[in-house]
Amino acid sequence: MRAKPTGSQYRNLTARGGVIYYQRHVGGKRIRFSCKTNDWKEAAAVARLYEECKNIGKTPFAIVEVPRFDEFAKRYLEEDTSHLTATTRSDRDSYLREDGPLVGFFGARRLDEIGVPDLRAWWNQEVTSAKRSVRTGRCYLNVLSSVLGYACDLELIERSPVPAFRETLRRRSRTKQARADAVGGSNVKPIERAGEIAALLEAAEEEGRRPHMLVLLCLDAGLRLGEALGLRWSAIEWGDDGDANRALRIEENRPRGGAPTAPKSGRARRVALSRRLRWALLELYQEQGGVPSDHVLGDMDDGAFRKRPWRRILKRAEIGHRALKDLRDTFASQLLSARASSSDT
């Protein structure tokens, strides 16, 4: 027997023992009978004929019209995103914008008309043909799953086609190229040449004290950008130049320079404070007359930093395009190399 198709006409049908049954509660009474077939279309026709004869689905029984995807996407954003963090809600707004790959493709379709073939066509057009990465495509797919999952919660559709489509993607991923693309760490791009790191730090220092400090916090302490923006002077355990216990307490995260939240992991942590970073922090603290409760980087805006100072730093350093995340990857790479070297001695 074929798997149950998607669509409102199959909502009250279930398969059992190779036979399709009709089952529905009407007026507090349970109605159940065999459609005496294993063909879903035939069973749907039997169910429709029965409901017409019994006036089920007509007045006084309310008929709920299944909304279009673009209409329901707005409802989802209004009703089912309050539990998400501010940055995630902002991302959902972006993913579900009117001219985006999801609403642009599915917008005019009713929710119950979206099936696995439609998801396959969407993936081919908006991910493969548009040359978006598989990772980006899966991010969009996760958002689509959330929208359709909320529709299931409201019983507007019986089930989401996303899980079945994910199985299709898993089958596709069994190719040699797909396995290569899926190798863990493919998005990790540390700066490996010491000369390039030196050029980057010199260029950052020319850009100004705070831009230089931001680069150092990411490079020498492996902080995420939001963690660097959320660092307060009171979270620095200065020690002295020879104190191995000096550290930074990572207690806040300011994603995109917004309101402080907990670190991404949900837990505070301590990070070793290098001599170079300690001296740079100390110079900035003395220069500003820092207040313990103040943020080290003040009200720096990460978006503005990426668009202007960071681009100027990269151009001045002549090391090509680099993402800020590459600094954290560089820290991790150097840490692993240091551990490997110490274990060899």
Concatenating the DSSP letter of every residue in 141-156 gives: HHHHHHHHHHHHHTTS
Q: What is the dihedral of CA 72, 73, 74, 80, to 10 degrees?
A: 90
Mean pLDDT lowest among 12-26, 96-110, 256-270 = 256-270
- Positive or negative CA dihedral for 158, 163, 169, 170? negative
pLDDT of residue 175: 59
pLDDT (mean) for 252-261: 81
Regarding predicted confidence, which is higher, 189 or 213?
A: 213
Residue 304: pLDDT band (50, 70, 90) is: confident
pLDDT of residue 1 exceeding 90: no
> Which residue's structure tokens are 């036979």?
19
Q: What tokens appear for 169 in the block? A: 């993607």
Q: Which residues share a beta bridge with 29?
A: 26
State phi, psi for 38 to the nearest 5 degrees: -110, 15
Domains of the chain: 8-53 (no CATH), 69-181 (1.10.150), 194-344 (1.10.443.10)
Q: Output 30 or 78, whichever has higher pLDDT.
A: 78
What strand order describes the sheet that includes 236-237? 236-237, 247-250, 269-272
Tokens representing residue 79 in the block = 């009703």
Q: Show the beta-strand stretches assigned E in 262-332.
A: 269-272
Handedness of CA 275, 277, 283, 285 (dihedral sign): negative
Q: What is the pLDDT of residues 117-152, one digit of tens each?
A: 999 999 999 999 999 988 899 999 999 999 999 999
